[in-house]
Amino acid sequence: MQINLTGRTALVTGSTQGIGAAIASGLARAGARVGVNGRSAERVQQAVDRLHSEAPGADLVPVAADVTTEEGARQALDALPPVDILVNNLGIFESADPLEISDEEWRRYFEVNVLAAVRLTRLLLPGMTGRGWGRVQYIASDSAIVTPAEMIHYGMSKTALLAVSRGFAKQAAGTGVTVNSVIAGPTHTRGVEDFVYQLVDRDLPWEEAQRVFMREHRPQSLLQRLIEPEEIANMVVYLSSDHASATTGGALRVDGGYVDSILP
């Protein structure tokens, strides 16, 4: 399958590292102009330089803006031509005692993980529907379905994204714009290796260590290894293309079979 996004402009929020950076790279390799976003201008430029080294000739635009605020969201959009592809990847997470999570933290998780995505969708969707083409995606998590006891506030925010995605898909019905969420499973990102080695023998090579970790601590995974960010990016790039024109209102899983369910 040949995916060509030449002529399309994408914004990937929170794309200086991890899954977001992999998505930005994948979209750029497919020919899209990609806005690489983060709050720090220095970190954004470092990410752009790194992505350029990995994909020479990629059309990357630094977008240093805090999209969790109204001002930052508008600043991000001002840095780009009309956006055709919006990937709401930005998110925060950490473990916490459910009974110790303050009202302020509950609000922060909703504002960063949910409201920021809603705001950008609200700002961009009218232009997409007016042009008769667009792609909006939300990076959710297996935690949206399998709520972790140690991260209820995070799980709540990802469950909310599934509802947001379905609702906006209905708003865009019949316009040529598709709206979907991508459910990512346990992923190999920064810090995960240290976490794994806290639980398994540090003398094991990484490939073996992650398989032991998955077998002993994430046994419900059918993949039995961590997912690489590029594997999630592959789904996002596909959903961003004309090949996925009939896929909308969906929650597509890239979870390695982690969620023990046929649907979504």
Active site residues: 154
Using CA atoms, how far apart are residues 220 and 210, in angstroms rounded to an integer? 14
Using CA atoms, how far apart are residues 15 and 19, in angstroms rounded to an integer? 7
Using CA atoms, how far apart are residues 131 and 144, in angstroms rounded to an integer? 32
Q: Which of 6, 15, 12, 27 is nearest to 240 (CA)?
A: 27
Q: How many CB atoms lie under 10 A from the CB of residue 245?
A: 11
Cβ atoms of 84 and 35 closer than 8 Å = no
